Amino acid sequence: MHRNLKPHNILIHRDGDVKIGDFTLSRISTEPHCPYTPEDPKERERSTRETRRLWYRAPEMLFRKVYSFEVDLWSVGCLFAEMTLGEPLFNGESEVEQLFKIFKFVGVPSEDLFNSKYKVSDESRIKFPNWPRVYFGYLSSDRNSTEFQQFVNAYMSGREDSLYKLIELRDTIGADGLDLLWKLLDLDPQTRISPSDALKHPFFDD
C-alpha cells in the first residue's frame, strides 16, 4: 500500500500512461487481510508537505488506529473528486480540522463504527456535530422524491458548502460517479470498495 497518494505523486504521460511515484511511506500489503499498527507520530514531519498529505488520509489513519490497503482507496476517492472540482476535497490544516471537513461532507460515523473500527472511547472522542450520513446518489433522484428531500434537508443545516460541492459533482460525473465516490469514501474500511470492484463500476462503462 502506498499510504501517500496525492497529485504530486501521480505522473501522467502525454500518451496516457500513469505512473505512481514516491514510495517512501509504502508498506507491503498482504492477503489475507493483515491490519497495520498505528503510524508512529515521530515519523511525521510538521511541514507544509505534511499538511498536504493529511488531505488524502483515511479517517482510520487520522485516528491512528489499525488500517490496511483500504487507505489508498480513500485517497483515490479524494483525487477523483479533486479532478472534478479543480480543488482538494478536504484541505484541513490539522488532523482535527481534517476530520471535521470529512464528516461534514460524508456524515458522522455511527456509534458502532466509532466503537468497533475506530475504537475511540467516549472520554477521548471529539464531539462532532450531528451530521447524518445520507447516500450521495439521492441527490440524483427526482426533486419531488422523498430521497432527494431527505438529502437536501440533511445538508441545509450548516453543511451548505458540502451540498454545493456535491451538486457540482453530480452535474459533472452524474449518478454513477456519485455512487462510485460514495463507495470510495466509505467510512468503514471493511466495506470500502476494492480496487477490482471499482474498476468494474458502471461509471467506467463508457
CA distance 38 to 64: 5
Residue 38 is predicted with a pLDDT of 52
Cell 484541505, located at residue: 91
CB 51 within 8 A of CB 43: no
DSSP state of 39: P
Domain ranges of the chain: 7-204
Q: What is the mean pLDDT of each run of 10 residues along the chain (206 residues)?
A: 90 93 82 57 50 83 81 96 96 91 92 66 66 94 94 91 96 97 95 95 94
Tell me the CATH number for domain 7-204.
Answer: 1.10.510.10
DSSP 194: P
For residue 48, the model assigns a pLDDT of 45
The residue among 157, 201, 144 whose CA lies nearest residue 175 is 201
Res 182: pLDDT: 98
Nearest-10 crossing angle of helices 160-184, 146-155: 120
Residue 21 main-chain phi, psi, to 5 deg: -120, 175
Whole-angstrom Cα distance, residue 175 to residue 48? 35
